[in-house]
Amino acid sequence: MPKPSYHHPFLSYEALTRLLLSRGMTGDFHRIRQKLEDVGYQRLQPYWEISAQGRIRTDFDTVWGLYCFDRQLRLQLLDAIERIEVAVRNRLVHYFCEIYGPFGYLDINNFHRVDTSKWKLWTDKLDSTAAKSSLLLVRDFFTRYSDQHLPLWLACELMDFGASVFFFSSVEQKIQKKVSRSLGLPTPQLLISWLRALNDVRNACAHHNRVWNRGWTKQAAIPSKNSAWFNTYDSVTNQWQTSNCSSVAFTMSKTGGMLTICHQLLQHIAADSRWKERLFALFSEPRFSHIPQARMGLPCFCQEHPLWK
């Protein structure tokens, strides 16, 4: 059956406001119209609930509250992921250059089981980014030296998160292990899984996409030998206790799982950052306290969970 062509006409802010009100949304006409002008209909649409009959079941103040909460949550995630990205990359570059020198990344033989075409794309992208960079350190290097490539400790400043993840997953295992253990993780495979998942979260945050109740395609692995991940809450004792069940308290395909990963890594990177306190302060703000944490994949009383202590 052929697909229909798109036929929706352009609507003014006033017409969009009237459309929302006619579909069941409640709220002040002028306030709704102003917010549509500020952020747009399509950006707000994921924050309201639709009934089976196509009616909007959410008042506009609730929609706007969710939108504002999501924006603040993205800032918290970006703060954590930036610290994690820089810390992982710095350790990785240090341990790699310690063995192979500043230009060792240009020799594919210094990598482990890396796809040649992907490695070449990675190095070519670094060279291309360096050639176009206005970063003073980069421009100063090419002014002072005849080299056509940057040393790795300068080139890494031009890597995006995805390039850093590729680099980590491609180096030999002894380097991976040193980085992983410095972050309190037992295996490189676990860290690779976490970084790949966080890269998707970071991209969503950078593009201002909804994150608060989102499901993530790349699900982070769980440290199977760490029993704390499998604790269950005992409503009789009001405590989290070791459990024999295999279920995880935090939904790893949801943002709650990503937040827990961030907290675990930050304990080894920036334990004095007070990131956890700022996050839970956001959850407890009166205007956001009604937002269900379960929709984020966080269990009740998660602040008391051993992983968040």
pLDDT tens-place string over residues 8-23: 899 999 999 999 999 9
> Once rounded to an integer, what is the mean pLDDT over residues 178-183?
97
204-215 mean pLDDT: 95
Mean pLDDT, range 30-52, rounded to an integer: 94
Instruction: Give the span between the Cα atoms of 57 and 47, in whole angstroms.
Output: 11
Q: Is residue 246 predicted with pLDDT exceeding 80? A: no
Residues 29 and 35 sit within 8 Å (Cβ to Cβ):
no
Q: What is the pLDDT of residue 124?
A: 97
**Per-residue confidence (pLDDT) for residue 55, from 0 to 100:** 93
Nearest Cα residue to 226 out of 184, 258, 180, 196:
184
Q: Taking all residues of the chain, what is their mean pLDDT, rounded to a whole number?
A: 94
For residue range 54-97, what is the model confidence (pLDDT) as tens digits? 899 999 999 999 999 999 999 999 999 999 999 999 999 999 99
The whole-number pLDDT of residue 243 equals 78
Quote the percentage of the chain above a pLDDT of 90: 85
Mean pLDDT for 186-194 is 96
Please count the other Cβ atoms lying within 10 Å of the Cβ belonging to residue 78: 14
Residues 120-149 pLDDT 10s: 999 999 999 999 999 999 999 999 999 999
Least confident span in 21-35, 180-194, 237-251: 237-251
Q: Do residues 234 and 241 lie in contact, with contact meaning Cβ atoms separated by under 8 Å?
A: yes
